[in-house]
């Protein structure tokens, strides 16, 4: 709510503030009812996924020390 008020006062960032409010409101409704509302924004998937090693596999990392 504070972000929306500030955006209105400044005249910039209103769309971002409205979107953040909408996400927060949808989360509150989901917590109260157990299901998200139909108008809830879809979760954003990460732009880049990192693959983790399969079970039982070890992740190896090489570390080099600079000596002078």
Residue 4 has pLDDT above 80, yes or no: no
Residue 31 tokens, joined: 């917590």
Give the separation between CA 42 and CA 38, rounded to whole angstroms.
10
Instruction: Read off the DSSP letter of residue 39.
Output: T
Given the structure tokens 């909408």, which residue do they identify?
A: 22
- How high is the pLDDT of residue 25? 92
Q: Could you read off the pLDDT of 23-54 as tens digits, one per residue?
A: 999 999 999 999 999 988 887 666 565 565 56
Q: Where are the alpha helices (DSSP H) in 1-68?
A: 2-10, 14-33
pLDDT confidence band for 12 (50 / 70 / 90): confident
The answer to whether the predicted template modeling score (pTM) of the entire model surpasses 0.75 is no
């Amino acid at each position: 709510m504070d972000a929306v008020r500030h955006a209105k006062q400044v005249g910039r960032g209103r769309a971002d503030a409205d979107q953040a409010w909408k996400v927060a409101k949808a989360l509150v409704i989901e917590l109260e009812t157990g299901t998200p509302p139909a108008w809830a924004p879809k979760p954003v998937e990460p732009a880049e996924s990192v693959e983790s090693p399969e079970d039982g596999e070890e992740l190896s990392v090489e570390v080099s020390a600079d000596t002078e």
